[in-house]
Amino acid sequence: MLRYLPGYAITLSGYLWTVPCLNLLALIPMLPDWLLLVVLNLGLLAMPAERAHQRLRVAALGIR
């Protein structure tokens, strides 16, 4: 939960020194969530490829 504090601090400080109608600053706290989702999705995509690679390696070496 503490990882959100810098994003909120940046957003609040941005609202103090910019035009209040600029809604792009509201996206800053959501950036860590988006980054985490990208990393998780890449991990989920890599898992089947790794399993297939392992099966090919076992088949090529003749290991049972």
Span 36-48, pLDDT tens digits: 888 888 888 899 9
Task: Supply the angle between the helices 4-17 and 31-61 in degrees, to the nearest 10.
Answer: 140
How many domains is the chain built from? Answer: 1
The pLDDT-based confidence of 64 (bands split at 50, 70, 90) is low
Asked if 7 contacts 28 with a C-beta cutoff of 8 angstroms, the reply is yes
CB within 8 Å of 30: residues ≥ 6 apart: 7
Q: pTM (2 decimals)? A: 0.46
Q: At 13, which amino acid appears?
A: S
| Domain enclosing residue 50, as ranges | 4-61
Q: Each residue of 51-62: pLDDT tens digit?
A: 999 999 999 998
Cβ contact 28:9 at 8 Å: no
Q: Percent of the chain beyond pLDDT 70?
A: 61
pLDDT at 2 over 80: no
**Cα 15 from chain centre:** 25
